[in-house]
A and B are shown apart, each in its own frame.
Chain A
Amino acid sequence: MNKENHQIGKSIARKEGREKVTGSARYVDDLNFPGMIYGATVRSSCARGEILGVHFDDGIPWDEFTIVTAKDIPGKNCVALLIEDQPCLAGQTVNHPEEAVVLLAHPDKYLLEVARQAVRVEIEPLPALYAMQDSLSKKQLIWGDDNIFKAYHVEKGDVDGAWSAADFIVEGEYETGAQEQLYIEPQGMIARANPADGVTVWGSLQCPYYVHKALVRLFGLPKDRVRVVQTETGGGFGGKEEYPSMIAGHAALLAWKSGKTVKIIYDRAEDMVATTKRHPSRTRHRTGVTREGKLLAMDIDFTIDGGAYETLSPVVLSRGTIHAAGPYNCPNVRVCSRAVATNAPPHGAFRGFGAPQSVFALERHLDRVASTVGISPEELRRRNFIQQGQTLAFGQVVREKVDMHKLLDRALEMSGYHEKQKRFQEQNPRSPIKRGIGFAAFLHGAGFTGSGEEYLASEALIKVTREGKVRILAGSTEMGQGTNTVFAQIAAEALGLECEQIEILQPDTSLVPNSGPTVASRTTMIVGKLVETAALTIKKSLVASGLLKEEYLANEFATACRQHIDKFGVLESLVKYQHPKDLHWDDEKYQGDAYGAYAWAVYVAEVSVDTRTAEVRVEDFVAVQEVGKVINPVLAAGQIEGGVAQGTGFALYENVVWREGRMVNGQMTNYIMPTSMDVPPIRVFFEEIPYDRGPAGAKGIGELPLDGTAPAIANAVAHATGVDIRQIPITPEKLIDMLESVHV
Chain B
Amino acid sequence: MSETLRKIRVQCEINGQTATLEAYPMSRLLDVLREQVGLTGTKEGCGEGECGACAIELDGALVNSCLIPALQANGAIIRTIEGVADSGRLDAVQQAFLTHGGAQCGICTPGMILAALNLLARNSQPTETEIREGLAGNLCRCTGYTKIFESVVEACRATRDPA
Contacts and interface: CB of A to CB of B under 8 A. Distances in A.
Indicate, yes or no, whether A interacts with B. Answer: yes
Contacts of B97: 17, 20-21
B141 A184 contact: yes
A635 interface: yes
Interface in A404-450: none
B40 A641 contact: no
Contacts of A236: 105
A13 interface: yes
A676 interface: yes
Contacts of B45: 184-186, 268, 668
A675 B142 contact: no
B51 A22 contact: no
Contact of A480 (B80, B82, B104, B148): B104
B106 A25 contact: yes
A471 B129 CA distance: 44
A496 interface: no
Contact of B103 (A20, A186, A267): A20
The dominant DSSP class at the A interface is loop
A682 B144 contact: yes
A299 B40 CA distance: 54
B42 A23 contact: yes
Interface residues of A, number: 58
A233 B105 contact: yes
A673 B34 CA distance: 27
A381 to B, nearest CB: 26
B80 to A, nearest CB: 7
A644 B139 contact: no
A677 interface: yes
Contacts of B145: 641, 645, 676, 679
Contacts of A677: 132-133, 136
B143 A642 contact: yes
Interface in A86-137: 114
B139 A675 contact: yes
Interface in A199-257: 232-237
Contacts of A185: 43, 45, 105, 107
A23 B80 contact: yes
A194 interface: no
A30 B82 CA distance: 14
> 5 closest A-B pairs (Cβ-Cβ)?
A23-B41, A480-B105, A234-B107, A20-B106, A645-B144
B25 interface: no
B47 interface: yes
Contact of B46 (A19, A181, A668): A668
Interface in B128-152: 131-133, 135-149
Interface in B107-162: 107-110, 113, 131-133, 135-149
A675 B41 contact: no
A21 B146 contact: no
Interface string B71-97: 000000000111011000010001101
B146 A641 contact: yes
Nearest to A19: B106
Most chain B beta-carbon contacts within 10 A, residue among A29, A186, A642: A642
Contacts of B34: 29-30
Given A184-B51, A480-B142, A668-B50, A14 B43 contact: no
B163 interface: no
Contact of B110 (A13, A23, A646, A679): A23
Given A184-B108, A634-B147, A21 B113 contact: yes
Most chain B beta-carbon contacts within 10 A, residue among A186, A269, A635: A186
A11 interface: yes
Contacts of A635: 101
B53 interface: yes
B44 interface: yes
Interface string B50-61: 110100000000
Given A22-B81, A634-B100, A184 B132 contact: no
Contact of B136 (A30, A479, A675): A675
A548 to B, nearest CB: 33
Given A59-B1, A676-B132, A638 B107 contact: no
Contacts of A642: 104, 141-144
A643 B143 CA distance: 8
9 contacts: A20-B106, A21-B94, A184-B51, A269-B47, A480-B106, A637-B147, A646-B144, A668-B48, A673-B141
A21 B112 CA distance: 10
Contacts of A17: 97-98, 103
B136 A634 contact: no
A20 B132 CA distance: 22
Given A184-B53, A185-B107, A677-B136, 14 more contacts: A21-B109, A22-B82, A23-B39, A184-B140, A234-B106, A235-B142, A480-B105, A637-B101, A638-B143, A641-B144, A645-B145, A646-B144, A675-B137, A682-B144
Contacts of A182: 141
Contacts of B48: 268, 667-669
A676 B135 contact: yes
A515 interface: no
A275 interface: no
Contacts of B108: 184, 234
A671 to B, nearest CB: 10
A419 B79 CA distance: 50
Contacts of B51: 184, 668
A23 B81 contact: yes
Contacts of B81: 22-23
A479 B139 CA distance: 17
Interface string A635-677: 1011001111110000000000000000000011100010111
B99 interface: yes
B143 A268 contact: no
Contact of B105 (A234, A669, A676): A234
Interface in A48-92: 59
Contacts of A184: 43, 45, 51, 53, 105, 107-108, 139-141
B43 A22 contact: no
A352 to B, nearest CB: 15
